[in-house]
Structure 1
Amino acid sequence: MTLQGGNRNVKNLPMNNGHREWSHGLCDCCDDAETCIVSWFCPCIVYAQNKRRLEYLERNGVPDPEHGGDACSGDCCLHLTITGCCGLGWLLQIPPRSSVRNRYHIEGSTCGDCCAILLCSPCALTQESREIGLEENSIQVTRV
């Protein structure tokens, strides 16, 4: 079995000083209606799935065969608990968003990540999911 693909700039966006824009705008979240809806009503699920998908890609170089796993993972429960107790679940979303931005050489900063999450957390989660999905879809596993 060999791997082909793994393009981290599937849309071939122009690079500026080694960085590029997001493949999808923050307000384009409705283009992935399913993820967007889940992000609005159960952000803990999308947070946990994005985190797992990204970690799996980084560790194995191939997409997570479970596409982020079960809805009730430890990361999901942690996000839900912190959000329910003190409304600070958004803080957990900063490191994974920064990891996505760094992995795909996307322009921005931690301050910008915080602003995107605070202004529209569901849109930010959907944007991250779509960016990870582009790489996952570009990887082709062929049998030798």
Structure 2
Amino acid sequence: MAEKQYNAYPQQPQYGQNHHQPGAGNMQMQPTIGMQPHGGNRNAKNVPMNQKGEREWSNGLCGCCGDCGTCCVSCFFPCVVYGQNKTRREHLEQQGYPHPSGGESCGSDCFLHGIITSCFGLGWIFQIGERGATRRRYAIEGGGCGDCCTVWCCNPCALTQESREIQLEEESMIPRH
């Protein structure tokens, strides 16, 4: 009795061919859990999601010591970290891969934040919207009121927390061998 052999890699229909099967040739790759069609893994630490599909931050607000360099820069030059975070997140959204230079330290976002901080002490107001954009990108629970209180009360911690969240997505895109 001859054994039937199974081909582990069956021949797939080519696009544009009619194979009398509904949807033949129209298959598209779907992202896996945590992966997004444009960018990297937006939940690299697999933080559990709530019923609304939202989660907590990957690193706590007081976890800024996990990235002392960013925390120190954000204490003395918050405009620099704000500019980097904003350009890194926007680049991920628009291009689907990390910013080649790690974000713009001295771009227009940094300049505007720095001027408003120097003249009026209100640069943190820009960060409310940016923190909200970061939360939306990574499906992190919270709202505008919480964002406002966080950036006003602990600006360096908030900037570092956002930077670390973006960094997790960027690192998920680096091939591992």
Q: TM-score of the superposition, structure 1-length normalised?
A: 0.92
Question: Is this contact kept in 2: 1:22–1:106, CA < 8 A?
Answer: yes
Following superposition, the deviation at residue 95 of structure 1 comes to 1.0
Rounded Cα–Cα distance in structure 2 between residues aligned with 1:100 and 1:25? 15
Rounded Cα–Cα distance in structure 1 between residues aligned with 2:64 and 2:74? 10
Unaligned runs of 5+ in 1: none
Are 1:67 and 2:102 matched, yes or no? yes
Q: Which residue of 2 aligns with 1:37?
A: 72
Are 1:18 and 2:53 matched, yes or no? yes
Give CA deviations for 1:5-38 in whole Å, capped at 9, x if unaligned: 7110001011002000000000110110000000
Give CA deviations for 1:90-128 in whole Å, capped at 9, x if unaligned: 111111110000000000001000011011000000000
Rounded Cα–Cα distance in structure 1 between residues aligned with 2:84 and 2:96? 17
How many equivalent residue pairs?
139
Question: Relative to structure 1, is the Cα distance of residues 91 and 4 closer, same or farther in structure 2, using a 3 angstrom cutoff?
Answer: closer
Question: Is this contact kept in 2: 1:6–1:138, CA < 8 A?
Answer: yes
- Match of residue 114, structure 1, among 139, 148, 154: 148
- Match of residue 162, structure 2, among 121, 124, 128: 128
- Aligned-pair Cα RMSD in Å: 1.8
Relative contact order, higher structure (CA 8 A, sep 6+) = 1
Q: Which residue of 2 aligns with 1:89?
A: 123
Question: Relative to structure 1, is the Cα distance of residues 77 and 4 closer, same or farther in structure 2, using a 3 angstrom cutoff?
Answer: closer
Question: Is this contact kept in 2: 1:13–1:20, CA < 8 A?
Answer: yes
Following superposition, the deviation at residue 141 of structure 1 comes to 6.1
Question: Relative to structure 1, is the Cα distance of residues 5 and 114 closer, same or farther in structure 2, using a 3 angstrom cutoff?
Answer: closer
Q: How does 1:133-144 map to 2 (within 5 A)?
A: 133-140=167-174
Q: Which residue of 1 aligns with 2:110?
A: 76
Q: Which amino acid aligns with 1:64?
A: H
Q: Which residue of 1 aligns with 2:14?
A: none
Bigger strand fraction: 1
Structure number with bigger Rg: 2
Question: Relative to structure 1, is the Cα distance of residues 5 and 51 closer, same or farther in structure 2, using a 3 angstrom cutoff?
Answer: closer
Bigger helix fraction: 1
Rounded Cα–Cα distance in structure 1 between residues aligned with 2:83 and 2:138? 19
Rounded Cα–Cα distance in structure 2 between residues aligned with 1:109 and 1:64? 27
Unaligned runs of 5+ in 2: 1-36
Following superposition, the deviation at residue 140 of structure 1 comes to 3.4
Question: Is this contact kept in 2: 1:4–1:139, CA < 8 A?
Answer: no
Following superposition, the deviation at residue 77 of structure 1 comes to 1.0
